[in-house]
Amino acid sequence: MSASREVIERIKKLRETINYHNYRYYVLNQPVISDYEYDILLKELIDLEKKYPELVTPDSPTQKVGGKPAEGFLPVEHTPPMLSLDNTYSEEEIISFHNRVKKALGEESSYTLELKIDGVAVSLVYSDFILVKASTRGNGRIGDEITQNIKTIRSVPLRLITDDRRLKNLEVRGEVFMPKEAFVELNKEREKNGLPLFANPRNASAGSLKLLDPKEVAKRNLDIIIHTVPQSIEGIDSHFSMLKILNKAGLKTSSHTRYCKTIEDVLKYRLEWENKRKNLPYEVDGIVIKIDKFSHQRELSSTDKSPRWAIAYKYPAEQATTRVVDIVPQVGRTGIITPVAVLEPVFLSGSTISRATLHNADEIARKDIRIGDNVFIEKGGEVIPEVIKSIPEARTGKEKVFEMPERCPSCGSKIVRYEGEIAYRCINAGCPSQVKGRIIHFAARNAMDIEGFGEKLVNVLVDKELVKNYADIYFLKKEDLLPLERMAEKSVNNLLNAIEKSKGRSFDRVLFALGIREIGSHTAKLLASHFQIMKRLQNAKYEELLQISEIGPAAAESIIKFFSDHENRMIIKRLKEAGVNMGKEEKKETPKPLFGKTFVLTGTLSKYARDDVTRLIENLGGRVSSSVSSNTDFVVVGESPGSKYEKAKELGVKTISEEEFIEMMSNIKMQNSK
Shortest distance (Å) from residue 330 CB to Zn ion: 11
Strands (E), 167-237: 170-177, 223-228
- 39-47, 87-95, 101-109, 430-438 -> range binding Zn ion (CB under 5 A): 430-438
- Per CB under 5 A, the list member of 167, 431, 473, 613 interacting with Zn ion is 431
**Nearer to Zn ion (CB atom), residue 408 or residue 458:** 408
Name 313's Cβ contacts closer than 8 Å, sequence gap at least 6. 87, 88, 89, 93, 94, 116, 270, 286, 287, 288, 289
- For Zn ion, give the closer residue by CB, 13 or 407: 407
Q: Does 426 interact with Zn ion (rule: CB under 5 A)?
A: yes
- Beta carbons of 214 and 66 less than 8 angstroms apart: yes
Euclidean distance between CA atoms 315 and 287, whole angstroms: 8
Choice among 116, 215, 379, 436 that is catalytic: 116
Q: Which is nearer to Zn ion, 187 or 410 (CB)?
A: 410
| Least Cβ distance, residue 560 to Zn ion (angstroms) | 24
Neighbours of 229 (CB within 10 A): 20
83 belongs to the binding site for Zn ion (CB under 5 A): no
> Quick check: 602 and 645 in contact, CB under 8 A?
yes
Rounded-to-integer distance, Cα 516 and Cα 523, Å: 11
Amino acid at 393: E
Give min distance, CB of 409 to Zn ion, in A: 8
CA distances from 494 to 474, 609, 611 (A): 14, 20, 22
Q: Which positions from 209 through 228 interact with Zn ion, judged by CB under 5 A?
A: none
DSSP state of 332: -
- 324 with 342: CB under 8 angstroms? yes
How many chain residues touch Zn ion (CB under 5 A)?
A: 6
Least distance (Å) from Zn ion to the CB of residue 462?
13
CB closer to Zn ion, 178 vs 361: 361
Burial state string for 367-386 with b = 16 or more CB within 10 A and e = fewer than 16: bebbbbbbbebbbbeebbbb
Cβ closest to Zn ion, residue 406 vs residue 479: 406
Quote the distance between the C-alpha of residue 669 and its chain's center: 35
Measured from the CB atom, is 467 or 551 closer to Zn ion? 467
Q: Give min distance, CB of 459 to Zn ion, in A.
A: 15
In the complex, minimum distance from the CB of residue 413 to Zn ion, in angstroms, rounded to a whole number: 5
β-strand pairing of 310-314 with 86-88 = parallel
Write out the DSSP string of 336-354. Answer: EEEEEEEEEEEEETTEEEE
Site string for Zn ion, 330-369 (x = CB under 5 A): ----------------------------------------
For the bound state, the minimum distance from the C-beta of residue 329 to Zn ion, rounded and expressed in Å, comes to 10
Site residues for Zn ion, 366-425, by CB under 5 A, read: 408, 410-411
Kindly indicate which of the ranges 262-270, 394-402, 428-436, 510-518 contains the residues binding Zn ion, using the contact rule CB under 5 A.
Answer: 428-436
CB of 258 or CB of 425, closer to Zn ion: 425
User: Which residue stretch of 210-218, 427-435, 495-503, 597-605 sits at the interface with Zn ion (rule: CB under 5 A)?
Assistant: 427-435
List alpha helices for 532-565, DSSP H.
534-538, 542-546, 553-564
Catalytic site includes residue 389: no
Residues tagged active-site? 116
Catalog residues that contact Zn ion under the rule CB under 5 A. Answer: 408, 410-411, 426, 428, 431
